[in-house]
Chain A
């Protein structure tokens, strides 16, 4: 036996309970108080998180910390509290109504195995709002919203927690003498614990369905939903698992932006807006990054946006690069100065843009992509003879090299330096090989 700190955890000055006569809620609160007492917990190390409903009135009856949130969401707050301060014992008091609207949170907290204890005040209907049916309402029951009998299969709350990996799962009734012990076991379990406590709503469910304690026990039997501990696993709690993640992560370097110091120079006088239009798999965005990085290394200002379908491995892939001697304010491109078309998907995607281009603008196109509906000057992408066999696999990098040579916005060395600085060594090696064709 632990030395008790308090005789009761109930705030007696707030008694009597507001619950209806005969309502089981008060019984369960008493059992919880007794459990806290027998565990000898300091009231300041316990947080009681209440859901909404009659059960939600319970927070004010405790001398511990408390949190009274939104309908169905109690479990989410409890998890957050426990994650931030694992020293605290966090207990959720929630109705069958809350388990319905917040069912998603219940099964995910079980999966996460976050170290909280959930006590379900399961009285087969919504008490507070007038006895409407809930997810646990037995078949054929009369409620305010099933006046001719409920037709929905009742949800097994404990069973749901169990199959979703909840560490400690039990079923009980408000009348069980050993409820304080069961609560203690749940609380001491390192991981998610849930006790589905069956009880009576005397104002509604009991009256409408002639459903007393005896009938409830009979229903339990008929449903083969036995009481007692249903599951106890050794699976590590979220708190334990995450500590491991923190330990591993602490050895990694913190994030930092990519620093590209100016190494080259450029005499660009006004902004140039370039669009690379290709297809998924061609590494178009990465070529856009190279051009933007090379410009940055040359003391220019750039912006780079990417456009691709949500399913990134198919369809078009477009990179829009603005290169400017001054900070880029407007980063959009309504009319490109230069467009490079390297796949039919890209050509089609930017048709609206190429159409707006003027005679002084240039469209470079890969084999078979010429004849663009645009007044712009149209030139084939003419890669060096020696690079012909690279075109199939590495057309984006070749295009970056070609545009750098043609447009003369910054030195070719800046592009090579960009490859070295921003790409992974293996890829950089390949791309430097490709750029060597332009030497």
Chain B
């Protein structure tokens, strides 16, 4: 019996995380308590910051001193992470951040589940740089996508989000530990960084300057337009050029189907149930689960659109990912959103209803 908080914490620990700082917020607090209890057992450090700003500040500082860092929060905390996320992008500090989504802005319907921060993660800070967002649908994926997030963070020296939600983090499921640890068949992420590796501060090590301002290779502030432009291009391209490597989806395409359902996170589970039901009634339907929400796995989505004239997109928000699909699909394709923002999960029946039109 495992819940998502346990799976994510185990994934982080097994990925070699040795530093965690965070601030309590339902539904992410389970991750905080696991990490603070477990890290000192293995010689790591876990602490509760005085707020989210200091928590992420501690993480960024520790990362420049060589720590493998992790933190978790929910929408309100993500708001407070914003400026520091910009800093970590500028400094190219690897960070893994789990966002356990709950419903509504401000404190909203605090302990109800939602998927309302999908665009917020993407545009989490000033400047509009690309970040990586992974979204698990179940316990096993929560564990393995967390591990993968650490590899990606290190490789791209960038913040990597795990987009999860109250339902996944706080629901206990009858998954055996051995099933959770079972490695899915996903392509490997190479170990070596795409640019220069991060040089941690070290006694007798090479001197390093880290700065949040546009800087030269030595880490000195610069206002030279050419250096600034080159630096900003590189930041954009280091992730933008590697979309294919980051892209991770599960395709379940059926010959002859003209309807494709696209979903992610907890809503993808209802999609799977709906697809099963539809097919057992002789209906033809294809399904695509997106694990790497950002950068958008365009090629993988486009290659699933052959023969499709209708796309159904269930998500627990007002259509945040649908906008992106709209951009990709040709205009003859019908786009149908199945959306809920009333604390209830989208049911398989609602998706089936959308299928029948």
Kindly state whether residue A360 has any CB partner on chain B within 8 Å. Answer: no
Chain-A contact segment, one of B173-181, B232-240, B253-261: B173-181
The residues of A that contact B53 with a CB separation of less than 8 Å are: 73, 76, 105
Within 8 A of B (CB), among A231-264: 242, 245-246, 248-250, 252, 254-261
In the complex, how many angstroms separate the beta carbon of A239 from the nearest chain B beta carbon?
A: 10
Q: Is the CB of B177 within 8 A of A259?
A: yes
Q: Is the CB of A254 within 8 A of B38?
A: yes
**Which residue on chain B has the smallest CB distance to residue A307?**
B111
Within 8 A of B (CB), among A274-312: 289, 292-293, 295-296, 300-306, 310
Supposing A83-B58, A329-B348, A331-B171 touch, asked if A260 and B40 sit within 8 A by C-beta, the answer is no
Kindly state whether residue B297 has any CB partner on chain A within 8 Å. Answer: no
Measured in the bound complex, the distance between the Cα atoms of B65 and A131 in whole Å is: 35
In the complex, how many angstroms separate the beta carbon of A67 from the nearest chain B beta carbon?
A: 5
Q: Is the CB of B57 within 8 A of A85?
A: no
Kindly state whether residue A175 has any CB partner on chain B within 8 Å. Answer: no
Chain-B contact segment, one of A41-49, A139-147, A369-377: A41-49
From A104, A245, A330, contact of B51 by CB (8 A): A104
From B2, B67, B213, B348, contact of A68 by CB (8 A): B213
Chain-A contact segment, one of B150-158, B202-210, B329-337: B202-210
**Which residue on chain A has the smallest CB distance to residue B111?**
A310
Kindly state whether residue A88 has any CB partner on chain B within 8 Å. Answer: yes
Q: Is the CB of A330 within 8 A of B347?
A: yes
Q: Is the CB of A66 within 8 A of B61?
A: no
Q: Is the CB of A68 within 8 A of B204?
A: no
Measured in the bound complex, the distance between the Cα atoms of B136 and A235 in whole Å is: 45
From A83, A260, A330, contact of B45 by CB (8 A): A83
The residues of A that contact B63 with a CB separation of less than 8 Å are: 80, 84
Q: Is the CB of B167 within 8 A of A331?
A: yes
Measured in the bound complex, the distance between the Cα atoms of B44 and A246 in whole Å is: 8
**Which residue on chain A has the smallest CB distance to residue B58?**
A80
Measured in the bound complex, the distance between the Cα atoms of B200 and A87 in whole Å is: 13
The residues of B that contact A303 with a CB separation of less than 8 Å are: 171-174
Q: A67-B61, A330-B269 are known contacts; what are 15 more A-B pairs with Cβ within 8 Å?
A: A47-B201, A66-B219, A70-B212, A79-B57, A81-B64, A83-B45, A242-B40, A245-B40, A249-B40, A254-B41, A255-B13, A257-B2, A257-B6, A301-B173, A332-B347
- A residues near B, CB below 8 A? 14, 42-45, 47, 49, 57, 59-60, 63-70, 73, 76-85, 87-88, 104-105, 108, 242, 245-246, 248-250, 252, 254-261, 289, 292-293, 295-296, 300-306, 310, 328-332, 334, 422
